[in-house]
Amino acid sequence: MSIEDLESIALAMVAPGKGIIAIDESTNTIKKRFESVGIENTEENRRAYRELLLTTPALSEHISGAILYDETIRQSTKDGVPFTQIMKKNGIIPGIKVDKGTVPLAGFPGDVVTEGLDGLRERLAEYVKLGAQFAKWRAVINISEDNPSSTAIEANTHALARYAALCQEAGLVPMVEPEVIMDGDHSIEVSYEVHEAVLRSLFNALYEHNVLVEGTILKVSMVIPGKESDEQVSVEEVAEATVRVLKTTAPATLPGIVFLSGGQNDEQSTAHLNAMNRMGPHPWPLSFSYGRAMQQAALKLWSKDMKSNYGEAQKVVHARAKDNGLAALGQWKG
């Protein structure tokens, strides 16, 4: 695939007023989500839930793509149509999570590094055959008095760059996700400093690995105080700090930036995105790639009656997509 093809897919992923739904939870993570609302964690229930999300009527009005899990990209609707086939028919770009999760970084207590590079070239080739057009790799950066170490930042951004280069070799748009975790009592200033260090390291690593930025999407956390912090910050302060760190670190040639919700509630994640876009124009589109913030309300409704509430749950999914699509244009009214 040429760079022009990669660039066109990347631009379609951040088309005006559209974002990405993340339904790439591992089996263990979806188990926790299901248990919280009383749903049994069976393969059929997982398949049915993902079908509910992916077949939501008119979803592509506000959703450009969906990140899938290994199990999900191999599944089909109840009528036997592969999910990737129905997604493409409905104008939704299939993506796939390819990292293998985090492990402790030896020698640096509190820091973690993401695994999954071994055998990745072969896995990417298979995912292309299954219909994927982009991939995602998540790095996790913890904040405490001792974390993150510079070694942890470099190890994680190096892995992101190696993954991104392999994706582009396979003809996939890499979504690079360095998530600065909200856990902790750190201030918004500390969050800013860590984001700046991580993003500088990331784009240096991408350059060193000959990754074409024009065919890459950045998925990033917002600059926000830790969840245990007593600091009170406004929506505008979060938006201003986040945009400032991105303008300081992200090249203008990047096709687009999408945010993760990262522990924020539904309204917070939408309000922050909306405020950022009202500050524009920016060098790149700012959109969303939300998981829980897109799904949780619909999951709760569906769990109460999985047959009768199916259509109503889909309406909730569409409503959340619409709100965030408007926020991606700076037009959400709240």
**Cα separation, 289 vs 179, whole angstroms:** 12
Cα dihedral 221, 222, 223, 225 sign:
negative
**Residue pair 43/95 in contact by the 8 Å Cβ criterion:** no
The DSSP symbol for 95 reads E
* Three-class secondary structure of residue 290 per DSSP: strand
**Cα separation, 278 vs 101, whole angstroms:** 35
Choose among 250, 146, 149: nearest CA to 196. Answer: 250
Beta bridge partners of 218: 176, 257
**Cα separation, 25 vs 35, whole angstroms:** 14
**Cα separation, 190 vs 186, whole angstroms:** 6
Which region, left, alpha or beta, applies to residue 187 given φ > 0 means left and ψ of -120 to 50 means alpha?
beta
How is residue 56 written in tokens?
A: 């939501």
Q: How many residues does the chain have?
A: 334
Count, in order, helices (H) and strands (E) of the chain. Answer: 12, 10
The DSSP symbol for 89 reads H
Catalytic machinery residues: 177, 219
**Cα separation, 278 vs 332, whole angstroms:** 10
- DSSP H stretches of helix in the chain: 3-13, 27-37, 43-54, 70-73, 83-89, 120-130, 150-170, 188-208, 235-249, 266-278, 292-304, 310-327
Beta bridge partners of 225: none
